Amino acid sequence: MRTDTIDPGRMTARMELEMPVDMPDGQGGTSRAFAAAGALWTLIEPRVALIAERRDETVVDVEHDVWIRHRADIAPGMRFRKGTRLFAILSAFDPDETRRYLVCRCREARS
């Protein structure tokens, strides 16, 4: 998508950005939790649905491009939350290197 034609008014999905937090599990390892890092207006564009069998169950993972205003602190391993839906960030890039927008390739797991 060309960014010179993006209408920021299309960023109508309010999502919470969450950062991973590793905490000791009491047995020498760690347990991963997520902490809220702020709410953002986003544009969600579904890209592809991946169907797989896991433990005798059909699971559909949907990949999305989530567009946000540019920020430098986005990294793989973080996630977006929209109500009960979770979008794991796989990668993030500046589509036209103008530091206006950031496209986050995300995977939403569904069962």
Q: pTM of the predicted model, to two decimals?
A: 0.85
Domains identified in the chain and CATH numbers: 10-110 (2.40.10.270)
Question: Could you read off the pLDDT of 24-36 as tens digits, one per residue?
Answer: 888 888 899 999 9
Supply the pLDDT for residue 1.
53
d(CA 25, CA 30): 5
Residue 28's pLDDT is what? Answer: 85
Contact residues for 84 (Cβ-Cβ < 8 A; gap 6+)? none
Residue 11's beta-bridge partner residues?
none
CB 101 within 8 A of CB 67: yes
For the stretch 41-93, pLDDT in tens is: 999 999 999 888 888 888 888 999 999 999 999 999 999 999 999 999 999 99
Cα–Cα dist 62/46, whole Å: 7
CA atoms of 95 and 81, how far apart (whole Å): 23
